[in-house]
Amino acid sequence: MQKLNLPDCDLRIKSEEGNQFVFDIIRKKYLVLTPEEWVRQHFVHLMINHLKYPKSLISVENGLKYFKNQKRSDIVLKNRQGGNFLLIECKAPDVKLGRNTLTQISQYNKQLQAAYIAMTNGLQHYIWEYQAKLGSYTQLKEFPTFPTKS
């Protein structure tokens, strides 16, 4: 798999019948190793090991309804009160991040109401803070620290 613009991490990878699988430390199971899963797993490890986000508050690929369509959010970090703190959309490294991805994650956030949204393809990473009173987003230069107080 392609080298990413993320810290190296110790992913558990296995091969079976010509396919590669990666262990998801959140869902506690092996998943088919696709380029998007490669990015998602690296980002989960970044969140836990470098940003110090609590593993217990991270969910991966949870379902959500957008209008009448069933969708899946890539990564959601909850706050300690159970609200959505950070929503991350992951793409494969060869997928260009642009207006379509931003529109997608913004639409998901209409349902989830996370304080922050982000998108990554493993090479580029963008983060925004949702300004609820204004109904708009402000782009940030770095990921927020997780609130330590309950």
Which residue segments constitute the domains of the chain, with CATH numbers given?
A: 35-140 (3.90.1570.30)
- Give per-residue pLDDT as tens, 100-145: 998 888 888 888 889 999 999 999 999 999 887 888 889 999 998 8
Q: What is the mean pLDDT of the chain?
A: 88
Provide the residue type at 55 as one letter.
Answer: K
- Predicted local confidence at residue 112, as pLDDT: 87
Contacts with 25 (C-beta within 8 Å, 6 or more apart), sequence order: 44, 45, 48, 55
Say what the pTM is.
0.88
What whole-number distance in Å separates Cα of residue 34 and Cα of residue 5?
17
- Predicted local confidence at residue 108, as pLDDT: 86
3-class DSSP assignment, residue 99: helix
Question: Which residue(s) pair with 136 in the sheet?
Answer: 131
- Predicted local confidence at residue 134, as pLDDT: 83
What whole-number distance in Å separates Cα of residue 106 and Cα of residue 112?
10
What whole-number distance in Å separates Cα of residue 14 and Cα of residue 61?
21
